[in-house]
Structure 1
Amino acid sequence: MANPTTPENERIYDVLPQHHDLWDQTIETIQDALERAEHQKVTVPFGEKEAFFTKKLLQKLNLQRRSDLYIVRRSHKQGLVVSPPGPIGLLRLCTQHELLDSRTPSKLYTYTSTLSYDDEAQDYEQHHVVKSETIGDASAVRDAEQIMIAQNVLKELGFHSITVHINSLGSEECKERYYEKILQEIPEELHEICEQYRNDPVKMFICLQERLAEREDINLPQLIDNLTDTCYEHFKEVLEFLDTLEIPYQLTPQLESKTGFAHKTIFEITGEDGSVLVRGGRHDDLLTEFQAEAEQEEPITGSVGMELKVDRIVRTLAAREEFQDPERKREIFVAGVGQEGQKYALTLVSQVREEGLSVTERLGKKRLKDQLVDAREEGIELIVIAGRKEALDRSVIIRHRSSENQETVDVEQFIPFLYQKLREQNLEEVE
């Protein structure tokens, strides 16, 4: 089984012809599941105007400067931010077009590509993803619903061994509380060793773990044990919903937000090989910032969503031993002889395809013998032959490959005759 990646970079994926049925099936399964859960499909642009990313928004995105984004720019003109991270496109669309309703959440999804840089691998990666977002509901049931949808999709696609990793990053207040707790637990001379991660408690915890690995006298606190009452209750409710749904999960304190701006609940779902198939989390603060920019008088709170990585899902399924490359049934082969015959044959190809039938042709080959060899190798029984004489007479020759019997048919009766022969052929196959 060929791996659907480019040879130069396994983090950028090609989709080969033999995988496209599986690719389409995966996207269709995801879309069906989301639409059954009341999500509506939207299309967002691949880029957003650079001016949209104000200094305040960059801070919310946990970015220091615009250069941390991927920007296409011509000379001094305003640039375009390519593949903005996370749910930015969906949240911008929702607030700009006033799709928010205080009575009911706005559930949206889109199919797009993402571009990011993996610091650990020191390499770029691009993914084809379906992004979903439930906007306007801060309740824990929406967190659980996203996980439920993702699990149902993966099970329907044939994943039997998946793992839900879940964590809570809390709020800004939780981060400050955790930082103060860290300062209490470690000696003063060590206060600055991981200071750069002050706004990212998970990275701070990982950094301190690595730097203080040999200090048995220091017991590092966990962020999850230092949540505010509000954040703790929210996370507790999420876990209770998952228990009710009988969705197994692993509490993973080291789980961090790859986008840098998720808070409260974050989750990942991994496959049998440990690759991340789904990633999601809450984006309440980001929604609040978007509404502030739009100067909405009565802001609506709460937003949670996820990204389902279509390419990783397909690659995992395609690598399985039981996966079989789909064989399309080729019904008719059209051959053309000479320049006039090839032109005429091409019109016949068009007619047959308009009828919804599968047609194979090798009109780029001039010799009839070469075309018939291809028809035999493809295993196609009905062969339509057109030469200069047939073009002038407005007729076609239909040959049966196995018996080599052939008949000449008027072009006006060509399509009905083909249907008749295909019905006879299907009956013979059944018998």
Structure 2
Amino acid sequence: MPRKKTKPILSKKPVKRRREKIQRPRGMKDLLPADFVYVDFIKSIADSTLRTYSFRRMDTPIAESVDLFVRAIGEDTDIVEKEMFVLKGRSREEKLALRPEFTAGVCRAYIENGMASMPQPLKLFSWGPIFRGERPQSGRYRQFNQINFEIIGGSKPALDAQTIQIAWRILERLGLKNLVVQINSIGCEECRPVYRQMLIDYYKPNVNKLCADCKRRIKKNPLRLLDCKEEKCQRVASNAPQMFDNLCEDCHDHFKLVLELLDELDIPYMLNSSLVRGLDYYTKTVFEIRREEDINHSGSQLSLCGGGRYDGLIELLGGSPTPAVGVAIGVERIILEMKEKKIVPPEFPKPRVFLAQLGELAKREGFKIFERLYLADIDVVESFGRDSLKSQLKQAEKQKVQLTLILGQKEAVDGNILIRDMGTGIQEVTSQEKMIGDIKERLKAKEDERNDKIKMAKKKTK
């Protein structure tokens, strides 16, 4: 009986499964090159302004002991209770947290590094990422950047006013307008306990009108009742006793002088008896800078910056009694505001020269020529990753350069280089020895031509 033909068994090719894309963590943001146009501009303005006022930069670790923030910020604050990113340390005893703010770490470093021996008051600034597990929304991220500056070792009201003035000037130089300072005094250890009890007495009969968080705050942190963003809590807070009326003589005189100095500086401000800030270490002056358009709006309001005085913090962390005042500026919030107001940072100077090469020898020589151009302060761009001259010239056109240097095998051997005018397309050979002088001369001629055209255009418009 003839055998039946059987089909050969084909091995199945493994099906490649498309791997799931990994996304950035919720509430965190990628800063792309387009964002850094704003970031670098903000950083340069802040840096130059702060150095003008004799501030010096310092940095602290991104991760610090959990105990530092619990002691400094307050165990019953939202930041410590709900928002800190706590890390598992190398041992059970080690507990670290990503910093939720700068000031606690700066004060810890001030004590630990013996900075009290330096001339006081000490002016310090920092820049970097901050981490808080907040509910993400526009202007609120779980990782964000702050510009932070402190004046440590001075108790005079003039330093409070100067801190506000510097923050105001930075925002002003960035092109932001229609801003207002909201300001309050939350007293000191002498007058605040009395006011705290007044708040408790006022809120107890109204406890059923409050949100769940505020019901908890009555016992733990009654000052935070004043700045709750829930509408029903704001209605109760509108008739609460005001700290202004219960300041001791020292706090009253201090606050009065701060306001007088702001008047002298022509910085607009509004008294806000509900402003307490979310950190327990504040004393006396607290403030925020906000947009005027947000002032009369209920609900959550985002400040562009905020700060205040913290005269007891360094002693609380184990140092000697040392008065201080500081402020934090939110970088991402400023970027949002600049974009909304269509404020475009000035562009960095674009390269005016492109270096193209063709062949292995030319590429090797091209590295040396690029270094020479860099050392001669000629802004130049290259594309060493491309071999095709045609594709390199396309890149030069996209970059909108004025001159393209073309280095082929023959030019590399002869010690010459081609200079191509991208406007006219004319190419000329020059020696590599004279190259720098020739390039600078051509660029200057183009700059002079551009300036002449601008002058002629101005004359026509008159």
Scaled by the length of structure 1, the TM-score of the pair is: 0.82
CA displacement 1:218-269 (0-9 Å, x = unmatched): 9532333333343333323322332333322111122231334322211000
The equivalent residue for 1:345 is 366
Within 2, Cα distance between the matches of 1:120 and 1:181? 35
Within 2, Cα distance between the matches of 1:186 and 1:322? 44
- Distance change in 2, residues 1:116/1:347 (3 Å): same
Q: Secondary structure at the match of 1:328?
A: coil
Within 2, Cα distance between the matches of 1:90 and 1:390? 58
The equivalent residue for 1:162 is 179
Give the number of aligned pairs.
414
Residues 1:29 and 2:50 aligned together:
no
Please give the residue correspondences for 1:285-300 in structure 2 after superposition, counting only pairs within 5 Å.
285-290=312-317, 293-294=318-319, 299-300=320-321
Where does the alignment leave 5 or more consecutive residues of structure 1 unmatched? 1-6
Residue pair 2:83, 2:134 contacting (<8 A) in 1 also: no
Residues 1:404 and 2:420 aligned together:
no
Q: Report the residue type matching 2:87 in the other structure.
A: V
Within 1, Cα distance between the matches of 2:124 and 2:425? 57
Residues 1:63 and 2:84 aligned together:
no
Where does the alignment leave 5 or more consecutive residues of structure 2 unmatched? 1-22, 295-301, 453-462
Residue pair 2:406, 2:417 contacting (<8 A) in 1 also: yes
Percentage identity across paired residues of the two chains: 25
Residue pair 2:356, 2:392 contacting (<8 A) in 1 also: yes
The equivalent residue for 1:380 is 401
The equivalent residue for 1:133 is 150
Q: CA deviation at 1:60?
A: 4.4
Which of 145, 148, 157 in structure 1 is aligned with 2:162? 145
Within 2, Cα distance between the matches of 1:346 and 1:250? 60
- Distance change in 2, residues 1:320/1:343 (3 Å): farther
Which of 257, 267, 288 in structure 2 is aligned with 1:237? 257
Q: Secondary structure at the match of 1:357?
A: coil
Q: Secondary structure at the match of 1:198?
A: helix
- Distance change in 2, residues 1:320/1:189 (3 Å): closer
- Distance change in 2, residues 1:368/1:178 (3 Å): same
Residue pair 2:181, 2:288 contacting (<8 A) in 1 also: yes
Within 2, Cα distance between the matches of 1:430 and 1:211? 62
Q: CA deviation at 1:310?
A: 2.9
Q: Report the residue type matching 1:307 in the other structure.
A: A
Within 2, Cα distance between the matches of 1:208 and 1:326? 39
Scaled by the length of structure 2, the TM-score of the pair is: 0.77
The equivalent residue for 1:277 is 304
Please give the residue correspondences for 1:8-407 in structure 2 after superposition, counting only pairs within 5 Å.
12-18=28-34, 20-50=36-66, 53=67, 58-63=70-75, 69-76=84-91, 78-100=94-116, 104-118=120-134, 124-185=141-202, 190=207, 194-205=215-226, 220-271=240-291, 274=294, 275-290=302-317, 293-294=318-319, 299-321=320-342, 323=344, 326=347, 328-407=349-428
Is the deviation greater in 182-191 or in 385-394? 182-191
Residue pair 2:63, 2:97 contacting (<8 A) in 1 also: yes
The equivalent residue for 2:5 is none
- Distance change in 2, residues 1:319/1:179 (3 Å): closer
Is the deviation greater in 134-143 or in 371-380? 371-380
Q: Which has the larger radius of gyration?
A: 2
